[in-house]
Amino acid sequence: MNVPGLVLVASVAILYSCGFYLLLQRSLMRVVFGIVMLGHAANLSLMLTDAAITLPPLLGGPDGPISDPLPQALALTAIVITFGVTTFLLALAYRVWLGDANDEVPDDLEDRRIGRLSEPEDSA
């Protein structure tokens, strides 16, 4: 495997693992960063589908070697989508922070009530 390929593979692996780690945190900002990293990981893995990714797409001349333009077009669309939704997530996180004055994911009250049903009466 050539060197850019190896660097890409390593980046994708690191981005996925860090992204999922951050996603499982309780702080909303970390969750948002996790989503951003996962988005990058997915876009980079689209780049991995073409071995000649370092070559220019389409502009390699009529006979020259070019890279496959389709994954780049797909990644472009995906970047726009993840960018838009990330902005929305940031706005939501801000809203939660305004409402609760912290950015932790709150508990589900209904679930806690159901959980208490299984406890014996006298301990409550």
Binding site for other proteins (CB under 8 A): 23, 28, 31, 35, 38-39, 41-43, 45-46, 48-49, 70-71, 74, 77-78, 81-82, 84-85, 88-89, 92-93, 95-96, 99-100, 105-106, 108, 110, 114, 117
First to last CA, the chain: 63
In terms of CB distance, is 25 or 61 closer to other proteins? 25
| Closer residue to other proteins, CB minimum distance, 61 or 88 | 88
Instruction: Please state the closest distance from residue 23 (CB atom) to other proteins, in A.
Output: 7
- Given a contact cutoff of 8 angstroms between Cβ atoms, the answer to whether 70 and 50 are in contact is no
Q: Min. distance of Cβ 26 from other proteins in angstroms? A: 12
The DSSP symbol for 59 reads: -
The rounded distance, in Å, linking the Cα atoms of 42 and 16 is 8
Q: How far is the CB of 123 from other proteins (least distance, A)?
A: 19
Query: Which of residues 3 and 24 has its CB atom nearest to other proteins in the complex?
Result: 24
Q: Residue 66's closest CA among 77, 75, 79, 55?
A: 55
Q: In the complex, what is the shortest distance from the CB of residue 4 to other proteins, in angstroms, rounded to a whole number? A: 16
CA–CA separation, 59 and 66 (whole Å):
7
3-state secondary structure of 102: coil
Q: Distance between CA atoms of 61 and 36, rounded to whole angstroms? A: 36
